Amino acid sequence: MSKITEQVAALAGPVVQEEGCSLWDVEYVKEAGTRYLRVYIDKEGGVSIDDCERISRRLDPMLDEADPIPESYVFEVGSAGAERELKRPSDFARFMGSQVELRLYQPVNGRKALVGTLCGYGEDGTVTVSSDSGTESFAKGQVARVRLHVSI
């Protein structure tokens, strides 16, 4: 995490918990020339728009006071989502055995994407997925992104 996201996470964590949710992630990005500060939350049974609104209303004045970001930005609070990205070792541990979509930087066996069951995560960041093609492991440097996968 960057210094800004760490500061925002430290501010947001207690507020999010007081509202009965958990802090999933904080993201500070530039998209189409606009900067966005996004706080992603999670809750057993799902996050509602009311949860997002309450947390946003509480955090907004705290962010104004702490002023961790010198330039203007758009502030958003949202759900981590059903197809959330797995980033931390605790994310991988929590969703072991779940369906994931793994995206690679470079093709391996002619594929840059793979959907399968998450069946391993090593201390070195190696991700192991079981699919119709068998069980495959990918080094941290090969993996661009891992997200939960929801089949309809």
Strand partners, 27: 38
Q: Which domain holds residue 30?
A: 3-79
Q: Is the residue at 47 inside a domain?
A: yes
Q: Write down which residue in 55, 79, 103 finishes a domain.
A: 79
**What CATH number should be reported for the domain holding residue 117?**
2.30.30.100
Task: Indicate whether 44 and 98 sit together in one domain.
Answer: no
User: Are 125 and 72 in the same domain?
Assistant: no
Give yes or no: residues 74 and 101 share one domain: no
What are the pLDDT digits (tens) for 44-85? Answer: 999 999 999 999 999 999 999 998 898 999 999 999 999 999
pLDDT value at residue 30? 94
- Pair 38, 59 in one domain: yes
**Statement to judge: residues 99 and 74 lie in one domain:** no
Mean pLDDT of successive 10-residue stretches along the chain, which has 152 residues: 86 97 95 96 94 97 92 95 92 95 94 95 95 92 95 79
Answer yes or no: do 53 and 71 share one domain. Answer: yes
- State the CATH number of the domain containing residue 43: 3.30.300.70
pLDDT confidence of residue 2 = 63
96 and 70 in a common domain: no
How many domains does the chain divide into? 2
